[in-house]
């Protein structure tokens, strides 16, 4: 339901709202907020709320510290786990400069900019994410551990799936907040879970992903658990991915579908896929942004490591699910839930649009599992590997004019700076593995 300012004010009165959290993300996708009382809501909707952006990662420099939060009325929702009297609501905001111009470092603004480019080409992007997470026990002080909450496996039920009650409450809370939940289940590894919600337009889905992560962690905490979206929290267990299903529509027509084509994929779908494959190594630092991300993207795991596509195998980064007609879509499998969804959808869409503009044909579909192919076989069909760490990913990113154009200079340069610092910090650490491996030997 599309809402305007007057409807937000009316619903706030009807629902006895007392506090409103104005939410936004930093460059890494970390959710931030400023709380106001409902008495300040009308002014916030009309004029925005000033805040100091210099203290947020990836936001303004000191000389640009006065920023404005402008709430999007369509994101108004009440937190269902808070009291009904003196209720707490939230609005997701865009960040603006104090002169009223969009701030170049706002991830949400940047996604809007690429969506506007798609719209000018006649396209609307629909997205359906699949975000996995772990439920961990906490210690006596409430700090998270890496002890999983259960010993369940794929699709297990109680008594093996001890997270069932927490997951059910998460689903109910998300439904109260306007999500249409399609399924929820225990994932492959002990303590690992997945909740899938219905596809929507790209901006709405990016908003829903940050909301989803916030709700899951909040409800887990109420059950004495810690929900983690870390890509690879336990070495011997599967990592957590965030597969992203995507399609382009013109009006009510899915332009990826062509009944008379091989695999019923249109030229637009193939060119779009060609763009994703061409730029996958460059945008990997955005879709897989942490040191830990690359410990999920390794051989022998369920996560893909090769840049290719298939309508049969899940070992390449692109898969074409079986359903066709309006459900025809491309699934990209390498992203993980530590990524900023606004930036991830930005670079994915930019890569796909570049493929359409330049009619980039993808390599031939992979008819066999890439894990069963030799290096020579992969080289013969020009299948490359994803970066092995954030240093390699950063080098690809820095060399990409498209990434700079898609994200804008502010986010592009700031992301390089912050991730370079992260890599250098990690590179200087001495791990327990090194101590056990080398201390007695040398």
Residues taking part in catalysis: 52, 130, 132, 187, 194, 243, 314, 331, 333
Taking the C-alpha atoms of residue 165 and residue 167, their distance in angstroms, rounded to an integer, is 5
Long-range pairs, 96-103, Cβ under 8 A, ≥24: 96/48, 96/67, 96/68, 96/69, 96/70, 97/64, 97/67, 97/68, 98/50, 98/66, 98/67, 98/68, 100/68, 103/53, 103/59, 103/60, 103/67
In this structure, are strands 17-25 and 87-97 parallel, antiparallel, or unpaired? parallel
Beta carbons of 25 and 340 less than 8 angstroms apart: yes
Stretch (H or E) spanning 37: strand 31-37
Place of tokens 């009944």: 259
Taking the C-alpha atoms of residue 142 and residue 162, their distance in angstroms, rounded to an integer, is 19
- Sorted by sequence, the CB contacts under 8 Å of residue 437 that are 6+ apart come out as none
Measured on CA atoms in the order 173, 177, 183, 189, is the torsion positive or negative? negative
Taking the C-alpha atoms of residue 11 and residue 76, their distance in angstroms, rounded to an integer, is 9
Place of tokens 């080398």: 438
Beta carbons of 386 and 317 less than 8 angstroms apart: yes
Taking the C-alpha atoms of residue 93 and residue 47, their distance in angstroms, rounded to an integer, is 12
Residues, the chain:
442
**How far is C-alpha 278 from the chain's CA centre?**
20
Beta carbons of 342 and 110 less than 8 angstroms apart: yes
Taking the C-alpha atoms of residue 329 and residue 126, their distance in angstroms, rounded to an integer, is 9
């Amino acid at each position: 339901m599309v809402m305007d300012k007057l409807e937000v004010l009316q619903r706030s009165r009807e629902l006895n709202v007392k506090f409103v959290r104005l939410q936004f993300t930093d460059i890494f996708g970390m959710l931030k907020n400023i709380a106001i009382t409902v008495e300040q809501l009308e002014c916030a909707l009309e004029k925005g709320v000033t805040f100091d952006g210099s203290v947020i990662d990836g936001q303004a420099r000191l000389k640009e510290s006065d920023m404005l939060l402008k709430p999007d009325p369509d994101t108004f929702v009440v937190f269902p786990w808070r009291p009904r009297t003196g209720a707490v609501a939230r609005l997701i905001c865009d960040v603006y400069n104090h002169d009223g111009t969009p701030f170049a470092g706002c991830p949400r603004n940047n996604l809007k900019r690429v969506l506007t480019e798609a719209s000018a080409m006649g396209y609307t992007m629909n997205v359906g994410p699949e975000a996995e997470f772990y439920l961990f026990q906490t210690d006596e002080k409430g700090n998270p551990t890496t002890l999983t909450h259960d010993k369940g496996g794929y699709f297990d039920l109680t008594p093996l799936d001890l997270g069932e009650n927490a997951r059910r409450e998460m689903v109910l809370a998300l439904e109260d907040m306007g999500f249409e939940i399609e399924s929820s289940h225990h994932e492959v590894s002990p303590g690992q879970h997945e909740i899938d919600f219905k596809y929507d337009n790209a901006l709405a889905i990016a908003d829903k992903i940050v909301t989803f992560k916030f709700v899951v962690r909040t409800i887990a905490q109420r059950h004495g658990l810690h929900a983690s979206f870390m890509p690879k929290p336990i070495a011997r267990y599967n990592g957590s991915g965030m597969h992203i299903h995507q399609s382009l529509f013109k009006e009510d027509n899915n332009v990826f579908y062509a009944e008379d084509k091989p695999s019923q994929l249109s030229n637009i779908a193939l060119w779009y896929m060609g763009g994703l494959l061409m730029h996958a190594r460059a945008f990997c630092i955005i879709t897989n942004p942490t040191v830990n991300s690359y410990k999920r993207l390794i051989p022998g795991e369920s996560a893909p490591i090769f840049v290719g596509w298939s309508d049969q195998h899940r070992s390449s980064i692109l898969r074409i699910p079986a359903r066709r007609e309006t459900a025809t879509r491309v699934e990209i499998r390498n992203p993980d839930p530590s990524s900023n969804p606004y930036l991830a959808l930005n670079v994915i869409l930019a890569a796909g649009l570049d493929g359409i503009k330049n009619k980039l044909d993808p390599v031939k579909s992979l008819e066999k599992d890439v894990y069963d192919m030799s290096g020579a076989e992969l080289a013969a069909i020009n299948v490359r590997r994803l970066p092995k760490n954030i240093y390699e990913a950063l080098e690809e990113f820095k060399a990409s004019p498209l990434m700079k154009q898609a994200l804008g200079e502010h986010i592009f340069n700031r992301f390089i700076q912050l991730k370079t610092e992260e890599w250098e910090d990690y590179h200087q650490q001495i791990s327990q593995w090194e101590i056990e491996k080398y201390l007695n030997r040398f």
